[in-house]
Copies of this chain bind each other. A is one copy, B any other.
Amino acid sequence: MLTSYNRIAGQSVERLAALSDGVFAIAMTLLVLDLRVPASEAIHNESDLWHALVALSPRLVMFGMSVLTLGIFWVGQQTQLNHLRRSDRSLSWIHIAFLGIVSLVPFSTGLLAEYTHYRVALLVYWANIVLLGATLYWSWVCALGTRLVKEDLSADVSRAMKRRIVVAQSLYACAAALCIIDTRLSIACIVLLQLNYALAPRLTRNF
């Protein structure tokens, strides 16, 4: 009997997690590379330095948005991987695609921050979020289909995973659709949604 390479390849969830942590760590720090210490030629007193730093603050906000978006999907992917017994080659490839899309987040965040009133920038950013959600959803469906999930996984948990992605993506789509009125309204809604996902667990811990 011939052993197929497919049956032995890509089985380690730990390696997938480690690769993911590397890619997320790089993606999170990519926008920091744009924060440069102001050149000393233009700085003559405290006030000059203060204004030079204030001028850098939009880049800091971009960086914060990028960390927020990446944090949401890092938690989401981790939650999935924690429920897997093992991976297989198909699942590894879905996550490699996911990581490729993850590393585009600093770009699309930067684009949106630079072009706040351009619908194209908003739609690129939204497309990035949609692709992230879609690959995570696809990965979960595949893991369920090929029984890679841990045996003690309850149907409840499985539904909570899917529901989470569907609800979040629906809200993102509504927020993006508001760009018909004004792109900044869309951005405000998306940022509020993201803050909600980052802060909500603390607010609702006792319920």
Contacts and interface: CB of A to CB of B under 8 A. Distances in A.
Contact of A3 (B1, B3, B81, B154): B154
A23 B30 CA distance: 10
B6 A204 contact: yes
Given A46-B120, A67-B97, 12 more contacts: A3-B159, A5-B164, A6-B200, A9-B76, A10-B75, A15-B21, A19-B74, A22-B26, A64-B100, A67-B96, A93-B198, A93-B202
Interface of A: 1-6, 8-12, 14-15, 17-19, 21-30, 32-33, 35, 37-38, 40, 43, 46, 49-50, 53, 63-64, 67, 71, 74-76, 78-79, 81-83, 88-90, 92-93, 96-97, 99-100, 103-104, 106-107, 110-111, 114-115, 118-121, 124, 142, 146, 154, 156-157, 159-161, 163-164, 198-202, 204-205
